[in-house]
Amino acid sequence: MNSVAFAPRRPLPGLVEPGLPATALAPMQDVTTLPFMRLVARHGPPDWFFTEYFRVHETSRLDAPILASITENDTGRPVFAQLIGESVADLTRTVRELQRFPIAGIDLNLGCPAPKVYRKNVGGGLLRDPARVDEILACLRAECAGRFTVKMRVGFESPEHFDALLDSVNRHGVDLLSVHGRTVREMYGPVVHYDLIAHAVRRAQCPVLANGNVTSAAAAQRILAETGAAGVMVGRAAIRNPWIFRQIRERSAGRPVFQPTLADVRAYIAELATATADPAVPDRIQAGRLKKFLNFVGVSVDPDGQFLYQMRRAEGLGDLFAVCDKFLLADGHAAEPFPDEPHPGLIARPNREAAACSLYG
């Protein structure tokens, strides 16, 4: 590996296996809840977790379910609290509140590409205004008694402000930078600018995590070699494959890499069902919640996409589990290996991602 080691001003939390590239589960709204963190940890935890973002504005308060992913977290792994907002006063107030809890650090979201987010000039929208970003970083660095980290994209429309943003990261002593190698406008398109992540690795004075299409342990190895990053941040690939962090460590260490079977995937789906269960809501709604995760799992089940087709049309949990059993357990499927990568041409969220031609952030 060509990963780069740094000595941050505030040492980062310990790795699962020192000497190997760092891994982190990317913050994903409505996904990286406490039950999902626990589930991933059981299959081989990342080095670090990041919460869903706390929305910060004039009347905001700490969201109780997100806060629970910090205060009730029993995974044994450090958890960074992510914020999204643009009001310096409200961001600093929220940092003070969060520092009363057992967080690994504060993370600022400068990358969310959702139009409803960036139109409010938060998340990826702030990348249009590097002077404003510099002001926010200065204030948050002054307020953070512990670690302060940033997750960002390479720009909004283009990388024209990328160097200025990286210089702000250096100027204000950011302890860890996660770089998603696309612009905000590129959403989750097919191209990831690993050359720009490599540029960030060279220019930044802190460790850099590479983010973008880290779909497997083999992909992580290629990306680390290409960018020289200190580690990788994995997003929706971890929904499809909760063993990915274990696999990255095994491959990096030259050990045999765990290969899940379709039976393992069926057991994982049962765990997902438990993690998303809510007896207070109708069966149909519970099935709908589980389908959001199965959309990602399903892109590696069969190359023809029949699992996705039939799963999406299941009426309730019973029908949904019957489809899972048919494709994952029946007719000798149980012992088949679960592919490391998605099958070409299959899309997890057709309505949102068909135009982007990609699944993974």
Residue positions annotated with a catalytic role:
112
Q: Are 49 and 21 in contact (CB under 8 A)?
A: no
Q: Are 28 and 69 in contact (CB under 8 A)?
A: no
Question: Nearest CA to 184 among 269, 114, 259, 272?
Answer: 114
Strand 54-55, strand 48-50: pairing: unpaired
Tell me the residue type at 85: G
- Give the separation between CA 24 and CA 5, rounded to whole angstroms: 16
SS (H, E, C) 187-239: CCCCCCCHHHHHHHHHHCCCCEEEECCCCCHHHHHHHHHHHCCCEEEECCHHH
Q: Are 27 and 235 in contact (CB under 8 A)?
A: no
- Give the separation between CA 135 and CA 335, rounded to whole angstroms: 55
Cα distance from N-terminal residue to C-terminal residue, the chain: 22
CA atoms within 13 A on the CB side of 171: 15
| Number of helices and strands in the chain (H, E) | 15, 9
Tell me the DSSP string of 296-307.
HHGGGT-TT-HH
Q: Which two tokens stand for residue 176?
A: 């860890």
Cβ atoms within 10 Å of 212's Cβ, excluding its own: 28
- Give the separation between CA 173 and CA 38, rounded to whole angstroms: 31
Q: Which two tokens stand for residue 261?
A: 């079977």
- Give the separation between CA 172 and CA 297, rounded to whole angstroms: 40
Buried b / exposed e over 258-286, threshold 16 CB at 10 Å, is eebebebbbebbebbbebbeeeeeeeeeb
Q: How far is CA 143 from the centre of its chain?
A: 25
